[in-house]
Structure 1
């Protein structure tokens, strides 16, 4: 065509639209939003069924302490029975039989109190307490998982929302370009090739928009599952949380305070105590025993009262090696827990190192993304001006706009990855908890229930009645 090197009329109309749409799409969201990241974390903490489940498991471990403490208390049982006995004998020398029978009723109470068992029961109580402490650390680990999932859900909704906005803007821009190309084609100023190129680019943009909308829908579903409600208007996340600058210092903190490490340390302590429990099981057991009962024969004159009390000592002589096997088993479990501690400690250190590596990479990618957006913007502006002078084609402008769009996508994704990586570092260090983040929410006190049950209260006691009220309130949740 004679005017092939001159910018087409439709191109001159489309280029300002391209620049305006690109600048709108790439501008950071400025509208105020309702829900902050801290709000989302609080909602996740309140909503999590996983936390509810593990709090109940912790209360079950607390009750193990109470059940073991009960072994030091008097054990009192009652029993009663009514027995009817009868007999028929031949009535010799006369024909027939003679019947006789009587009915007896009895009731009794037995009591037993442990006096001494070489520390076996106190050792079992200590082991149960270590199990409680281990379960508390498990609960803290679950709390970290819940909060990290909430951070990821929050950032992914933000990421995918901005992706959809960019894709929608891209579709609008290319749709304007396609309309201009068709108008110009009708008057014979461009070829069918220009129209087909714009049509192909629009089809690709619409497909990318549909994919982005699908990704946003999935991110919203994950947000609902993790946080408990649909996302509203989300604020931009605050500045990154403060973390240790040195990887080595972060590893040292993790080894000292990570809930996985602390849990296994308590498991090792419980295993050590169980060895001593197995040793004490080989020794005698001294108890104080007593009983009181009455027996009455209905229809007769027999009425008896009986009772007894005394000190009883029992101990094993030979049990086929069962007690020795129990001790060896306890020693093997102790060794296994020591191995778990070794593996867990190294895994925690490795996780900290990996988390820092991911964070460094995410930060470098974000910096590169910012530079990429700047360079792509300069390139797009240059191609647009060259197109006005006729030295660039429509396809060149569309390609430059697509490169700028891709650079902006990379930048948005990298920014979200930096936040997720920073909170993952906190989780690796064992510091991603409601208390460490100073969130405005009433935290679950794991010691409150334990303090109510550790002395094994009976329902009729003041503490037992208080415990009943606590259980009723838990049942209403």
Structure 2
């Protein structure tokens, strides 16, 4: 199964989509960092001017004139924010909190996908075993029907016994067809999650060593380590920083701007040039701007309350999931033991009923019922072993530890910090680190 989980970890679109989302979120940090950097632009103008007319002066000839010029200029202007009410630093911190939350969401997606992989693997394994039991049951019932017909021919049994054997065979064939359809559906799910067709699937044992030894320990671990909870905690941090960003609008704003310009044909005068340079400092002290900034602050405070309540709800949900998973896993252990005992007892019972039927102490119906009881017991054992494995992995997922290191998968764990380090201080460039 580890090989199947490796394939899912590398190729599952849900995991890869969330990885891309984390990389997308990483870019919020250099976006916020832009508030510290200057803004520089080049400016150029060019045009044509023409004027003509006449001027009348008393007792003088009429004076006509025509002028033409090509005014043009070029220059560079730059601006730098000196103080923005701590908005930039809080935006950076908020962006970093968003990145950490996205990473935890990725961890949770990996857990969910790996658990889906376990479920898909075990479903195919279980349904394949059930179909094999059904086929074996059909073969046994065919032989039972043949023997019953032979005994009917020599007068040892009645026509009723033959009809009972035929009815059991028909029912077994119907069950086989139904279980084959279930198997085909589980194979399709396996293909969707793992990304490959199931071939020879090896049996799997429940995972035991990484599981907590007690329920209180499992709950405590989940409340600290589960990625869904950690992601919500980072969301609370980001919401708190949003309040500080909104409050920054009430602080004074200070900036510096500089401009250098070279102009030609100034004032429509051909040949006239002018060079200018300036540097200005600007301080803006907000007094009243319509009240929108106060509404934004109040809104951010309510957003923080919403995020805190979501975090509390997530903690309760995770705790409930841990308790439920613990109960299912513990019950599965007992069910497997009971199912194995049931199979052993039904095997003995079927062997005895068959021997008694040979000497006329049991009817054909008794044999068929014993055969059906053994089939049901074996099917229950297959399902119980399936549930024990799935529930063990589900418990590990519920506490937040269903990951590559814990499972010991032979694959390099995806490291989201690599991309973050590549882009966090990037000032310029269109290409992503992977070349897009």
C-alpha separation in 2, matches of 1:65 and 1:72 = 12
* Contact 1:79–1:108 (8 Å) recurs in 2: yes
Task: Please name the residue that 1:329 is paired with.
Answer: 299
d(CA) in 2 for partners of 1:315, 1:471: 45
Cα separation, 1, equivalents of 2:351 and 2:150: 25
Partners of 2:302 and 2:223 in 1: CA distance: 25
| TM-fit CA distance, 1:89 | 5.0
TM-score (norm 2): 0.93
Which string of whole-angstrom CA distances, capped at 9 and with x for unpartnered residues, describes residues 69-113 of structure 1? 111011111222222344565798999x98654332222211111
Distance 1:279 1:91 in 2: 63
| 2:82 equivalent to 1:115 | yes
Secondary structure in structure 2 of the residue aligned to 1:137: helix
Counterpart in 2 of 1:156? 123
Aligned to 2:160: 193
Q: 2:396 pairs with 403, 426, 429, which one?
A: 426
Matched, 1:471 2:434: yes
CA distance in 2, matches of 1:267, 1:86: 63
Aligned to 1:240: 207
Aligned to 1:10: none
Give deviations 1:21-75, integer Å, cap 9, x for gaps: xxxxxxxxxxxxxxxx111111110111111111111111110001111110111
> What SS does the aligned partner of 1:288 have?
strand
Which of 200, 217, 220 does residue 187 from structure 2 map onto?
A: 220
**Residues 1:320 and 2:290 are matched in the alignment:** yes
How far apart are the structure 1 equivalents of 2:334 and 2:206?
17
Equivalent residue for 2:14?
50
Structure 1 residue 238, shift from structure 2 partner: 3.5
- Write the distance in 2 (CA, Å) between the matches of 1:213 and 1:365: 25
Q: Paired residue for 1:182?
A: 149
Tell me by how many angstroms 1:192 deviates.
2.6
The 8 Å contact of residues 241 and 423 in structure 1, kept in 2 or not, is answered as: no
Query: Helix, strand or coil for the counterpart of 1:470?
Result: coil
Provide Cα deviations, 1:370-411, integer angstroms capped at 9, x if missing partner: 121122112212211211221101121111011000000001
- Residue 83 in 1 paired to residue 47 in 2? yes
Q: Does 1:137 align with 2:104?
A: yes
CA distance in 1, matches of 2:146, 2:8: 47
Aligned length: 429
Alignment of 1:273-312 (within 5 A): 273-297=241-265, 300-312=270-282
SS at match of 1:401: helix
C-alpha deviation, 1:317, in angstroms: 2.2
Aligned equivalents of 2:352, 2:202: Cα separation in 1: 34
Hey, what's the Cα distance between the residues in 1 that align with 2:139 and 2:178?
16
Q: Distance in 2 between matches of 1:232 and 1:309?
A: 73
The change in CA–CA distance for 1:42 and 1:241 in structure 2 (over 3 A counts) is farther
Residue 146 of structure 1 pairs with residue 113 of structure 2: yes
2:361 to 391, 394, 397: 391
In 2, Cα distance between equivalents of 1:87 and 1:222: 80
**Separation (CA, whole Å) in 2 of partners of 1:180 and 1:374:** 25
Q: Deviations over 1:425-444 (max 9, x none)?
A: 01110000112222110111
Q: Residues 197-208 of structure 1 correspond to what in structure 2 (within 5 A)? A: 197-208=164-175
> What is the CA–CA distance in structure 2 between the aligned matches of 1:197 and 1:405, rounded to whole Å?
17
CA RMSD of aligned residues (A): 2.2
Q: Report if the CA contact (8 A) 2:205-2:389 is conserved.
A: no
2:240 matched to which residue of 1? Answer: 272
Of 20, 23, 27, the residue aligned with 1:63 is 27
> Equivalents in 2 of 1:224, 1:218: separation in Å?
10
| Residues 300-309 or 199-208, more deviating | 300-309
Unmatched 5+ stretches in structure 2: none
1:344 is aligned to 2:311: no
* Distance of 2:260 and 2:290 partners within structure 1: 36
Q: Distance in 2 between matches of 1:83 and 1:241?
A: 81
Are the aligned partners of 2:25 and 2:99 in contact in 1 as well (CA < 8 Å)? yes
Contact in 1 for aligned 2:68/2:270 (Cα 8 Å): no
**Residues 254 and 349 in structure 1, CA contact (< 8 A), matched pair in contact too:** yes
Q: TM-score, normalised by structure 1?
A: 0.85
